[in-house]
């Protein structure tokens, strides 16, 4: 349906039973399949077209290349939009606003989609890529998968459904992951329920052809979901060779209303493992406002529905796009690459409550 050189390849694969599989392939290997607004719109259009077709049995989402399913959004495009608007003092470039709005709409569509969606999250799965994976009914990983919400490093926040993912986790784990951007391997993601199945990395290209051989039913969404679940169980490999890194996280004291006390308790974990220490280094160098936003997200999301959690994220993202920290974080990490972001508030103890709350007012 789409040429093989487009950023998103949309195709229909005939199955042995006469149905078709809708396939979506992120196709920007050079940027680790980072999402653009064009790709988001193409995915949304394809899912909309397939939704009411009885002959479309299931959807499969993959990423081109061996390194990554999706490293997140196209941060440099968002940076250019934010900088243009901040320099003009008004919205002269609507890319950032449209990106966040339409990305979250796509995530919500996937969460509520009637047909089973399988996402193969091999390699790097971060930010918006994590969002696509977590919105899928079947979340297949490999032993090389590395998952994270690394937004603390660029002054954003765990978005694209990150609030909903963190809501499902033990609070100490959720706060640690959100505040440090630490990477999870497939074993930990499986244990936390973030992933549903693990297959061998070297066999990943065989998955879609194997799915095409299954006896799919026409207009049988629930039966097709059960068929898919049973089949993936036959491929599943327990990733026991990987370290169980989340076991290093103790049940430390998280005080959602007190950033200073929470981060002090977090820094007290120093020395318990190399993995924890790497995460704490991210927090030390990361954006203080992001840290405060994460705690407020965790405080609010248990009272919200799925749709309300995305609305909350849109409020936060819109505000982040208007303020200096997000573009400054991108500049330091990806544009000038000096590693010296000049955050609006320099210390975790300096972030005013009113500044944090301003991110949660609907635009």
Q: How far apart are CA 326 and CA 289, in angstroms?
A: 10
Is residue 159 flagged as an active site residue?
Answer: yes
Record the pTM. 0.95
CATH number at residue 219: 3.90.226.10
Is residue 128 flagged as an active site residue?
Answer: yes
For 245, the 3-state DSSP assignment is helix
235-250 burial, b at 16+ Cβ within 10 Å, e below that, comes to: eeeebeebeebbebbe
User: In what side-by-side order are the strands of the sheet with 56-63?
Assistant: 8-14, 20-26, 56-63, 117-121, 138-142, 197-199
Is residue 296 flagged as an active site residue?
Answer: no
DSSP string, 87-145: HHTS-S--HHHHHHHHHHHHHHHHHT-SS-EEEEE-BEEETHHHHHHHTSSEEEEETT-
Residue 309: inside a domain, yes or no?
Answer: yes
Residue 294: inside a domain, yes or no?
Answer: yes
Residue 149: inside a domain, yes or no?
Answer: yes
Residue 224: inside a domain, yes or no?
Answer: yes
pLDDT number for residue 84: 95
Please identify which of the residues 22, 73, 195, 286 carries the catalytic annotation: 73
Please identify which of the residues 103, 143, 159, 328 carries the catalytic annotation: 159
How distant is the alpha carbon of residue 268 from its chain centre?
28
pLDDT number for residue 204: 94
pLDDT number for residue 1: 58
Which segments in the chain show pLDDT lower than 50?
A: none
CA dihedral 190, 192, 196, 198 (to 10 degrees): -10
Please identify which of the residues 151, 188, 245, 325 carries the catalytic annotation: 151
pLDDT number for residue 5: 81
Is residue 151 flagged as an active site residue?
Answer: yes
How many structural domains are present in the chain? Answer: 1
Please identify which of the residues 121, 128, 129, 279 carries the catalytic annotation: 128
pLDDT number for residue 251: 84
Q: Domain span at residue 207?
A: 8-360
Residue 348: inside a domain, yes or no?
Answer: yes
């Amino acid at each position: 349906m789409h040429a093989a050189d487009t950023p998103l390849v949309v195709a229909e694969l005939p199955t042995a039973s006469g149905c078709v599989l809708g396939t979506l392939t992120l196709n920007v290997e050079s940027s680790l399949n980072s999402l653009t607004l064009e790709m988001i719109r193409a995915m949304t259009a394809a899912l909309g077209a397939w939704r009411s077709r009885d002959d479309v049995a299931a959807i499969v989402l993959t990423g081109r290349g061996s390194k990554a399913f999706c490293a997140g959004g196209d941060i440099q495009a968002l940076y250019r939009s934010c900088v243009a608007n901040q320099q003009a003092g008004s919205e002269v470039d609507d890319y950032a606003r449209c990106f966040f709005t339409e990305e979250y709409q796509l995530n919500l569509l996937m969460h509520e989609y009637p047909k089973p969606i399988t996402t193969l999250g091999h390699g790097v799965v971060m930010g918006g890529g994590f969002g696509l994976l977590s919105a899928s009914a079947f979340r297949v990983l490999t032993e090389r998968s590395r998952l994270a919400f690394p937004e603390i490093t660029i002054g954003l926040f765990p978005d694209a459904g990150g609030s909903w993912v963190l809501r499902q986790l033990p609070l100490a784990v959720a706060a640690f992951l959100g505040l440090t951007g630490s990477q999870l391997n497939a074993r930990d993601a499986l244990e936390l329920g973030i992933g549903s199945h693990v297959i061998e990395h070297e066999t990943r290209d065989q998955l879609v052809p194997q799915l095409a051989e299954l006896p799919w039913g026409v207009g049988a969404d629930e039966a097709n979901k059960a068929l898919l679940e049973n089949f993936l169980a036959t491929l599943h490999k327990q990733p026991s060779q990987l370290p169980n890194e989340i076991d290093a996280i103790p049940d430390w004291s998280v005080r959602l209303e007190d950033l200073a006390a929470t981060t002090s308790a977090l820094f007290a974990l120093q020395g318990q493992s190399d993995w924890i220490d790497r995460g704490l280094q991210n927090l030390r160098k990361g954006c203080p406002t992001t840290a405060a936003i994460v705690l407020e997200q965790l405080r609010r999301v248990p009272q919200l529905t799925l749709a309300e959690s995305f609305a909350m994220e849109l409020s936060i993202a819109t505000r982040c796009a208007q303020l200096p920290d997000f573009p400054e974080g991108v500049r330091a990490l990806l544009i000038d690459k000096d590693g010296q972001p000049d955050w609006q508030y320099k210390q975790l103890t300096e972030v005013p409550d009113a500044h944090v709350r301003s991110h949660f007012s609907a635009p």
